[in-house]
Amino acid sequence: MHAARSLHQSEPPALPAPYLLFLGDTVEPGYAKTAFGLRDWAPERCVGEYLLPGARVSTGLPAMSPTQAYAAGARALVIGVANAGGVIPEHWVAALITAVEAGLDIISGMHMRLSELPALQRAATCHGRELIDVRRPPDKLPIATGRKRSGNRLLTVGTDCALGKKYTALALARAFTSRGLDADFRATGQTGILIAGGGIPMDAVIADFAAGAAEMLTPDAAAAHWDVIEGQGSLFHPAYAGVSLALLHGSQPDVVVVCHQPGRDRVLGHAHYALPSIEDTIALNLQLGRRTNPRIRCGGVSLNTAHLDEDAARRLLAAESDRLGCAVADPIRGGAEFEALINECLG
Residue ranges in contact with a second copy by CB under 8 A: 84-86, 111, 142-147, 202-208, 210-212, 235-236, 238-247, 249, 267, 270, 272-273, 288, 291-292
Cβ 333 to a second copy shortest distance, Å: 31
Q: Is the peptide bond before 238 cis (omega within 30 degrees of 0)?
A: no
Cβ 117 to a second copy shortest distance, Å: 15
Task: List 226's β-bridge partners, or say none.
Answer: 152, 183
Nearer to a second copy, 86 or 197 (CB): 86
CB 66 within 8 A of CB 104: yes
Nearer to a second copy, 75 or 260 (CB): 260
CB 156 within 8 A of CB 168: yes
Nearer to a second copy, 211 or 332 (CB): 211
Residues 6+ apart with CB under 8 A from 108: 78, 79, 88, 114, 131, 132, 133, 134, 135, 190
Nearer to a second copy, 117 or 313 (CB): 117
Q: For the purposes of burial, counting CB atoms within 10 Å of the CB of 316, is it exposed (0-12), middle (13-18) or buried (19 or more)?
A: middle
Residues 6+ apart with CB under 8 A from 178: none
Cβ 297 to a second copy shortest distance, Å: 19
Cβ 264 to a second copy shortest distance, Å: 17
Cβ 292 to a second copy shortest distance, Å: 5
Nearer to a second copy, 149 or 174 (CB): 149
**What per-residue string of b and e applies to 238-254 under the rule 16 or more CB within 10 Å gives b?**
eebeebbbbbbbbbbbb
Distance CA 292, CA 233 (A): 19
Sign of CA dihedral 122, 90, 107, 98: positive
**What one-character DSSP code corresponds to residue 43?**
G
Cβ 299 to a second copy shortest distance, Å: 23
Cβ 84 to a second copy shortest distance, Å: 6
How many CB atoms neighbour CB 283 within 10 A?
A: 14
Find how far residue 249's CA is from the centre of its chain: 19
Nearer to a second copy, 20 or 235 (CB): 235
Distance CA 305, CA 151 (A): 32
Nearer to a second copy, 61 or 275 (CB): 275
CB 23 within 8 A of CB 50: yes
Cβ 136 to a second copy shortest distance, Å: 11
Cβ 47 to a second copy shortest distance, Å: 31
Nearer to a second copy, 72 or 143 (CB): 143
| H or E stretch covering 100 | helix 93-101
Nearer to a second copy, 187 or 308 (CB): 187
| Cα-based distances in Å from 263 to 43, 237, 274, 317 | 29, 17, 12, 13
